[in-house]
Structure 1
Amino acid sequence: MKLPGLSTLHRHVATYGVYAGALMVRGTELVGKLGLYMLAARILGAHEAGLFFLCITWVGLAATAARAGFEKATVRHIASEIALGRLDTARAAMRTGALWVFLGGVVATFLTLIIATPAATLIFADPSLAPPLLIAAVAILPQALCFFVAHALFGLDRGVAGQFVQNASWPIFTLGAMLAGVRSLDGILYALAAANLASMLIGVVFLVRARPDRIAVRKGPKSASTLPELWRTALPLGVVEVVQVSLTAIPIMLLAAVAAPSVVGAFSVANRLSQLIWVVIIAIGSIAAPRFAALHRLQDWAGLRAQNRRARLLVALAGLPPIALMMLFPATILGLIGPGYEIAATALAIMCLGQLVNCLLPCQDIMLAMTGQGSVLRWLNFAQLGTCIVAGALLVPAFGMTGAAVLSALVIAQGAVGTTLMVRCRLPQAL
C-alpha cells in the first residue's frame, strides 16, 4: 500500500531536487571564488590585484566573443530536438557548435597576443599590464570550450553537472593551486588557464556519460516546424553575450582609465561580490533554460508559465538574503577581503540595488533566448549598451568609483525591466 502523499513527495523532489543540486554546486563556486578573490587580493597587493582583475575581465570578454552565442544556441537546439525525439539532429547541433567555438577561441587568443601590448599602453596607460595580459591569453580557448561543454550538458538536461563544469570547478582548482604555493601574478594566470582546461576535460567525461540516447524522450507534435540553422540562432545570441560581458567590463575599464590601480582593484572586488547574485540567477536559469526550450517547442503553455514562475520564485527566495547582507554590511564584508577594500563599501551597496531589481525580475532574458526571440533580446542589449556608453562617459569621469557603481546598477536594472516587459509583450502566456 502506498503511503498518502508519497507520490506528491516524489514529484516535489523530482521538480525541486535539481534546483537544490544546482544551488549547492553554485555554493561551492561561491566558496571558491570568494577564496580566490580574497587570497589574490591579499598576496598580490592592490596594484597587482587590479592587474589580475583586468586580466580575468579581458579573458571573460574574449572567451565570450569566441563562443559567438553558439553555446546558448546549442542549448536551445539540443533540448528542442530531444523533446521531439530527433536525437541525430541534437548530436549534429552539438558537433557544429563545438567546432565553431574552437575556431573562435583560436582567433580570440591570437588577437589578444597581437594587441596586448598596444592595449596596455594606449587604453589603460599602464605598460605593466602587457606581460600578464599576454599570459592570460592562454586561458581564452580553454575557457571558451569549458563553457561550451557546460552548455551542451545544460541542453541534455544535466544542469548540475554543467554548473559544476562552468562555474565551480575552475575557481576551486585555481584556488587549490594558490594554496599549494602559486603566489605570483604570472603563476596564478597560468593556473587559471590550466584550471579551465581541466574543467573542460571533466565536462567531456560528463558529456560522454550523458548522451542524448540515454535521455527519456518527451513526445511532442510531429508537425513541429524545423528550427533555423544553428548559426542563425547563435548570431543574435552571440551579440547578446558579448554585449552582456561588455556591460560588466565597461565600468571597470572606464574606471581604470581615470583612477589608480588600487581603486580599480577595490571596485573590481565589490563589483564581483555584487555579481555573486548572478550565481543564484544563473544556477536556476541554467536548469530552467532547456525546459523553457522544450516546453515552448511542445507548445505546452501552461507548463511553460509554471516553469517560469517556479524559477522566478526560487531566485527571489535564494537571492534576497545575500543582497540584504551586502547592502546592510558592505564595509564589513569588504574588510574580510583585505585591508583597504572598505573604500568600495558605498559602491557595493549601490550595485546591490541594481541586483535587487535583477533578483525580483529574473530569467526573462533566458526565456527570450530559449523561445526564438534572440533578435528582440539583441535590441534590448543594444539599448543597454547605449545607456552604458552615454551614462558612463558622464558618470565615471565625474564621480569615479561611485559613478561606476551607479552605472553598473542602472544597466542591470534596465536589462531586468526590459526583458520582463518584452516577455509580457511577445510571450504573455509565459508570465
Structure 2
Amino acid sequence: MELNKSQLLRFTTAGSVDDGKSTLIGRLLYDSKSLFEDQLEAVTTTSKQKGLDGVDLALFTDGLKDEREQGITIDVAYRYFTTPKRKFIIADTPGHIQYTRNMVTGASTANAAIILIDARHGVIEQTKRHAFIASLLNIPHVIVCVNKMDLVDFREDTYQSIVNQFEAFASKMLIPDIRFIPISALLGDNVVNRSEHMKWYMGAPLLHTLETLHISSDINKVDARFPVQTVLRPQSEGYLDYRAYAGRIAGGIFRKGDEITVLPSGFTSRIKGIEGPDGPLEEAFAPMSISISLEDDIDVSRGDMIVRSNNQPKATQDLEVMLCWLNNSPAKPRAKYTILHTSNQQKAVIKEVIHKIDIQSLNRNPDDKELSMNEICKARIRTTKPLMIDSYRENRTTGSVILVDDMTNETVAAGMIV
C-alpha cells in the first residue's frame, strides 16, 4: 500500500531521566536530514564551545536557553519534521518523576508512543508509569526502544531480558500494538539506519517503523456530537432574524434535514443549514468547525450539545473517571473545582476516590484516599448540572475532562471518563 505523503503522525517520547530522549530525537532529525542549515551551524558551534569532537545531538531539542544551561529538559517540547514518506510532530516529554504529568499533556493526541529504556537499568518505575499512561490514553502503538545498547556490548540476551520484563508488565494493560527495537541513539544504531553491531535484530529501524505505522483515526465517526461554543446573532441588515450555533464537531456526521436533539434540555428540531468557513455545506463531520441553524426557534446556549435524536450521549451529573493528578498540592476532600468538558463548564466536587493505582504492580488500592501529584486513581465526580458524556475509549473529546482549582485557576487534574 502506497503511503499518503501528507499523512501526519503524532508521537510522544517518554522515558526516565538520562535515557537519551533528546539524543534520540536529535539523531532522528540529524540522520534524516530534517534540520535547517542555521540550526546545524548553531549546534555545531555550541558543541565545539563545549569541547566536543562531534555534534551534541541533544542540543537540537533543548529549546530554551535556561534549559540548556541547566542541562535538562523541563517541559513538553513539540518538534516538527518531514521525510519523503510522512510528516511528524514529536511531543518530547521530560523524564523526571515530578514531570510525569507532562506526559499526559504530550500524549493526549498521540498516534504512537516511544518509550525509552536504558539497557543498563531495564524496566523501572518510570517505564511502567509511562506505559500505563499510554494505555490509559488509548494510544494504539507503543514502540519500546532499548537504548544505550553500545554500553552493554550490543548483547542480544540483555535486550531479550528487557523485552521479557516489559511484556510481562504490559500483559496487564490494553495496548493493541507493542514493538521493540534495540538502539544506540548516540551512535545511530537502528535509529535511521540498520545497525552493523546488532545483526541478530531482524526488524526495521525506528524511522522506517514510524514511516510505515498504520494511522487509524481516533475520531468517532458514528456518534454525532456538536458541543455549542457560541450563539451567532448578527445585527446587520438582512440577518436580523438569523440565529446559528457555532462550534467544532466532536464526533460523527451532521446533514441538512437531520432530526436533532439539544441536550440537556431535550428540545428537538431539524437542521435547516450548515455553514463552513467557505460557505454553505450539505454535510459536515468531525473535526470540522461549523455553524448550524435549526428550523425551530429553541433555546440553545454555550455548553449545550446538539446530537442526532436517535443516537444520544449520556447526560449525567455523576461521573466515574480515571483521574491523573497534575498539581503540586494534593486533592482536597470535598473541595469545589471547576470542571471543563468540551465547551461546558460547571462546578464539581470529587465525591470519592474509589481506588488508587499502584504503578509498580497495577494493583488497585481502595484504602488509600489521598491523591498527590502524578498519582492516578479512579474517582467519582459530582457536577452541579448535567454533562453530556461518552466514555474516553469511544470518543476522546466527549470522554475527557479537566479540573481547575477555583482559588488559583490552576489546572489540577485530567480525567478520562470510564
Which of the pair has more CA radius of gyration? Answer: 2
Determine which structure has the larger strand proportion and give its number: 2
* TMscore range, shorter length: under 0.3
Higher normalized contact order (CA 8 Å, seq sep 6+, divided by chain length):
1
TM-score between both structures, scaled by the size of structure 2: 0.24
Determine which structure has the larger helix proportion and give its number: 1
